[in-house]
Structure 1
Amino acid sequence: MKYVVREKMFAVGDDYWIEDEDGRKAFYVDGKALRVRETLELQDPSGAVLVVIHKKLISVRDAMTIERDGDVLVTVRKKRLTLLHEAYRAHLASGEELEIRGDLIGKEFDIEYEGERLARISRRWFSLRDAYAIDIERPDADAAMLIAIAICVDRLVVEED
């Protein structure tokens, strides 16, 4: 299933819809303004909160966490040593890791688990500057979690520049 992110970079509180490939509203990103640390909620169309994304306040390397029901589900941060390309890792609470690699600045990257691609993030399909697609390749994958990881990587890369 493909999802389209048309991020409004200058919207108050960073609020925007993520649509499915048929143009239906699938997820809402609600940026919480006036918070000490950056906080985003990923909601379903009815407004139910699926995950909460936080920027870590104090960290040697920038990191973001994804929480579900108050528990940390994933921590996303830049991989320490990468020689030829930028890469990020998503550390799951279960101890497993997802690898995020590709052209992160150009928004052409993959989220992989043990060499299997779970999702592809691509701007290639769009002429709009602030739009990209998230193609969830496995039907049993947690779409909200993978979309939240893509949002984290996007935010962390933008802050790095």
Structure 2
Amino acid sequence: MAPHLAPFQPPLGPQPANAHIYSPHQVTLQMKEKVFSLSGDDFTIRTVDGLDVCTCHGKMVSARDRKKFTDMAGNDLFTLKNKMLSISKSFHGESPHGQHDFEVKGHFKLIGSHSTVTFKNAADGVQVELEVKGDWMDRSAEISYGGRPVAAIQRSYFNVREIWGDKQTYFVVVAPNVDLSLIAGLCICLDEKENEK
């Protein structure tokens, strides 16, 4: 059973609130890598009810260094860039005009994963720091803001298609009024970080 997460007011995220990437209700996202995709690392992000939210294009931009997120109309939301010179795996999310940027910084931890995400909240201009903690071996992670749950990530257990295609499915319960594209990007950051351990 999915946890019940309280809504955020004002909306929480670096992108301006709109009906395509924010929801007034708790949402469960399902992210699937496209099995045998020629471009690799491509994800379609949709709700478990089948509503498409956004798409992540992996090698379309460049090998493993960048991933472009677009809304369903094909408009660029942000490009996720791997910060190559950082000690711990870190990422930068950059919008087309640079005004909706966010940083994901990995922190060293022997077991599990710990990252912080910083951005200027689009709704009120407040500087936000999210905390991401999890254990990818246990297939789960939690995202919180000041101790308050923002999202809970679960990776599905392998099925035949995932074993043969070497692809993963993620389920993410997201609180109401949270930027769904940001949460999808964080899932991909966590996955890349854990795959390089």
Is the pair's TM-score, using the shorter chain for normalization, greater than 0.5? yes
Answer yes or no: is 1:55 the counterpart of 2:82.
yes
Greater than 6 Å deviation, 4+ residue runs: none
Q: 2:15 is matched with which residue?
A: none
CA contact (8 A) 1:55 1:63 kept: yes
Answer yes or no: is 1:2 the counterpart of 2:28.
yes
Q: 1:152 is matched with which residue?
A: 189
Q: 1:11 is matched with which residue?
A: 37
* 1:89 counterpart (116, 124, 129): 116
Change (3 A) 1:115 1:51: same
CA contact (8 A) 1:78 1:89 kept: yes
Equivalent position amino acid for 2:89 in 1? D
Larger Rg: 2
Change (3 A) 1:105 1:89: farther
Q: TM (normalized to structure 1)?
A: 0.82
CA contact (8 A) 1:107 1:132 kept: no
Change (3 A) 1:97 1:9: farther
Q: What CA deviation, in whole Å up to 9, does each residue of 1:68-109 have, x standing for no partner?
A: 2342622112224x4764311112256431110122344311
* 1:24 counterpart (36, 45, 51): 51
- How far 1:3 sits from its partner (Å)? 0.9
Aligned length in residues? 157
Q: Which structure 1 segments of 5+ residues have no match? A: none
Quick one: percent identity of the two aligned structures?
Answer: 24
Which SS does the other structure have where 2:56 is aligned?
A: strand
Change (3 A) 1:86 1:57: closer
Change (3 A) 1:9 1:110: farther
Change (3 A) 1:9 1:112: farther
Map 1:38-53 onto structure 2 (within 5 A).
38-53=65-80
Q: Give the superposed CA RMSD.
A: 2.4
Change (3 A) 1:70 1:159: farther
Q: TM (normalized to structure 2)?
A: 0.69
In 2: Cα distance, 1:106 partner to 1:48 partner: 35
CA contact (8 A) 1:87 1:100 kept: yes
Which SS does the other structure have where 1:61 is aligned?
A: coil
